[in-house]
């Protein structure tokens, strides 16, 4: 590759990354606004009190409460730990964890933009299947002693839990200006939690779209890009194993991974492989390390096995279920790097509207209520990892700025 070709591709990669983000900006803002409103106006105290008496009831409630408390994986880990510590059954806690990271409103919106309705169905139906398969595995394995040790580990490493104010009715809450200030603060925190992941994820997606040849994906995902609909069962198995492997290497959260998932699908990776990739946000090393801090390494490794086995089974079930019904999507329609990103369409006006709304929320949360102290519990990400990811994000910004200049120059 000549130097001129490299600089040209650099510009195209930067333009593609920014285009991906522009397409998804309003969806991010809408999803985080809805998530923030739910987290402020729906309390968690009753969740914790009603999920420990009956296993079936606990799983159903964990799934429901996880859905209405949808959040990034790190926030979900902290809340899951809180539920488990307060008496929720282990599988009810896992149901909450899987629901709050897969039955996610904002994630479904982003998936619909980049991948289409089949993947949205796969995401939500898959979230339910993940919970059911995890439940079945727990019932078969019966890790009673491991669960007891995990509770003991939590008790020995206790922390202070937040007390929530439940003295107001729902109508009183939504009429409170202070609560809307909390919504604004939570909205800012949602972005603060993911800005590094999103920045790196979209930059990687643009680089992959322009620089990585199809032959790489054909090697990593067997048979991809050759015959994009006719896979053998061993090839599908290889795809659902390779999907989490790629997620582990990219080290990015589920939101930043969606444009990369669309690229994988466009390169001919099977529906099962792409769904396994999307479901893999809870089987990466940072999550394993946090679970080990909470419950000990034995339980952390068991959770890793439980989630990995469940996502493989879920991806296979979704793939062959849609194939049987004749609704399996065609990867040839997912060439998102060929789209026109910046144009006067509904996305443009929605982006402007949500940019203004975001500016207002920032003012409300951080200017008008400077003395307001509010914070949802978060899992400890680790200062070293966060520092590394922050500097990587800054490098990505430099890459994008220089690359965009090259694109405009050409």
Tokens of 269: 């990776």
- pLDDT at position 123 is 92
Nearest to 394 by CA among 172, 196, 122: 196
Percentage of the chain exceeding pLDDT 90: 24
- Asked if residue 305 lies in contact with residue 313, where contact means CB atoms within 8 angstroms, the answer is no
Q: Which residue has the higher pLDDT, 225 or 33?
A: 33
Tokens of 195: 């800005």
Three-state secondary structure along the chain? Answer: CCHHHHHHHHHHHHHHHHHHHHHHHHHHHHHHHHHHHHHHHCCCHHHHHCCCCCHHHHHHHHHHHHHHCCCCHHHHHHHHHHHHHCCCCHHHHHHHHHHHHHCCHHHHHHHHHHCCHHHHHHHHHHHHHHHHHHHHHHHHHCCHHHHHHHHHHHHHCCCCCCCCCCCCCHHHHHHCHHHHHHHHHHHHHHHHHHHHHHHHHHHHHHHHHHHCCHHHHHHHCCCCCCCCCCCCHHHHHHHHHHHHHHHHHHCCCHHHHHHHHHHHHHCCCCHHHHHHHHHHHHCCHHHHHHHHHHHCHHHHHHHHHHHHHHHHHHHHHHHHHHHHHCCCCCHHHCCHHHCCCCCCCHHHHHHHHHHHHHHHHHHHHHHHCCCCCCCCCCCCCCHHHHHHHHHHHHHHHHHHHHHHHHHHHC
Q: How confident is the model over 261-267, as a mean pLDDT?
A: 84
The CA distance from 82 to 133, in Å, is 23
- pLDDT at position 160 is 46
To the nearest 10 degrees (0 to 180), the angle between helices 3-41 and 105-114 is 150
- Asked if residue 406 lies in contact with residue 7, where contact means CB atoms within 8 angstroms, the answer is yes
| Average pLDDT across the chain, whole number | 80
Percentage of the chain exceeding pLDDT 70: 80
Is residue 386, in this structure, part of any structural domain at all?
no
- pLDDT at position 163 is 45
- Tally of structural domains, the chain: 1
- pLDDT at position 257 is 75
Token pair 């997606």 is found at 205
Token pair 């520092």 is found at 387
Residue range 57-80, pLDDT digits in tens: 888 888 888 887 666 666 677 778
Is residue 260, in this structure, part of any structural domain at all?
yes
Tokens of 167: 């003295």
Cβ of 281: how many Cβ atoms within 10 Å?
27
- Per the document, the length of the chain is 410
Nearest to 92 by CA among 35, 44, 54: 54
Q: What is the pTM of this model?
A: 0.72
Is residue 301, in this structure, part of any structural domain at all?
yes
Residue 93 CB burial class (10 angstroms; 0-12, 13-18, ≥19) = buried
To the nearest 10 degrees (0 to 180), the angle between helices 285-295 and 144-156 is 80
For residue 130, CA distances in Å to 174, 238, 313, 347 come to 34, 19, 8, 33
Residue range 271-301, pLDDT digits in tens: 999 999 999 888 877 778 778 888 889 999 9
Q: How confident is the model over 186-197, as a mean pLDDT?
A: 78
Is residue 350, in this structure, part of any structural domain at all?
yes
Q: How confident is the model over 370-391, as a mean pLDDT?
A: 64
Is residue 282, in this structure, part of any structural domain at all?
yes
Is residue 179, in this structure, part of any structural domain at all?
yes
Tokens of 209: 């779209």
Is residue 405, in this structure, part of any structural domain at all?
no
Residue range 140-151, pLDDT digits in tens: 999 999 999 998
Nearest to 358 by CA among 187, 236, 215: 187
Distance of CA 182 to the CA centre of its chain: 23
Domain that holds residue 65: 23-379
- pLDDT at position 376 is 53
Residue range 154-172, pLDDT digits in tens: 777 654 444 455 566 667 7
Residue range 392-403, pLDDT digits in tens: 899 999 999 999
- pLDDT at position 255 is 63
Residue 234 has pLDDT above 60, yes or no: yes
Residue range 97-142, pLDDT digits in tens: 999 888 877 788 888 888 888 999 999 999 999 999 999 999 999 9
Q: Collect all residues with Cβ–Cβ distance below 8 Å to 95 and sequence separation of at least 6.
A: 58, 59, 62, 63, 66, 131, 134, 135
Confidence of residue 317 (pLDDT cuts 50, 70, 90): very high
- pLDDT at position 162 is 45
Is residue 302, in this structure, part of any structural domain at all?
yes
Confidence of residue 329 (pLDDT cuts 50, 70, 90): confident
């Amino acid at each position: 590759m000549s130097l001129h070709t490299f600089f040209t591709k650099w510009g195209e990669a930067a333009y593609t990354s920014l285009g991906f983000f522009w397409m998804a900006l309003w969806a991010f803002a809408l999803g985080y606004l809805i998530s923030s409103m739910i987290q402020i106006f729906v309390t968690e105290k009753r969740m914790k009190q009603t999920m420990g008496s009956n296993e079936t009831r606990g799983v159903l409630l964990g799934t429901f409460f996880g859905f209405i408390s949808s959040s990034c994986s790190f926030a979900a880990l902290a809340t899951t730990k809180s539920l488990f510590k307060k008496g929720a059954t282990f599988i009810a806690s896992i149901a909450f964890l899987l629901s709050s990271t897969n039955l996610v409103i904002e994630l479904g919106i982003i998936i619909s933009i980049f991948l289409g309705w089949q993947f949205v169905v796969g995401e939500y139906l898959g979230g339910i299947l993940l919970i059911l398969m995890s439940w079945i595995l727990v019932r078969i394995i019966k890790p009673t002693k491991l669960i007891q040790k995990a509770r003991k580990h939590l008790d020995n490493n206790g922390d202070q839990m937040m007390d929530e104010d439940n003295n107001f009715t729902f109508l009183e809450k939504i009429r409170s200006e202070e609560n809307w200030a909390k919504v604004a603060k939570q909205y800012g925190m949602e972005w603060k939690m993911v800005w590094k992941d999103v920045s790196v994820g979209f930059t990687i997606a643009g680089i992959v779209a322009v620089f990585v040849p199809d032959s790489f994906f054909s090697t990593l995902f067997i048979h991809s890009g050759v015959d994009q609909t006719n896979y053998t069962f061993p090839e599908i198995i290889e795809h659902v194993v390779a999907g989490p492997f790629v997620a582990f290497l990219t080290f990015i959260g589920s939101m930043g991974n969606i444009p990369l998932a669309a690229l994988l699908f466009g390169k001919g990776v099977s529906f099962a492989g792409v769904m396994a990739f999307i479901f893999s946000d809870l089987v990466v090393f940072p999550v394993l390390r946090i679970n080990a801090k909470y419950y000990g390494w034995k339980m952390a490794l068991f959770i890793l096995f439980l989630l990995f086995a469940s996502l493989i089974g879920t991806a296979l079930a979704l793939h062959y279920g849609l194939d049987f019904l004749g609704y399996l999507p065609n990867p040839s329609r997912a060439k998102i790097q060929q789209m026109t990103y910046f144009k006067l369409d509904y996305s443009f006006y929605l982006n402007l509207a949500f940019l203004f709304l975001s500016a207002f929320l920032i003012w409300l949360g951080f200017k008008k209520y400077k003395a307001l102290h509010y914070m949802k519990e978060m899992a400890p990400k680790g200062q070293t990892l966060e520092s590394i990811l922050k500097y990587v994000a800054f490098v990505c910004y430099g890459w994008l700025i220089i690359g965009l200049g090259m694109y405009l120059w050409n």
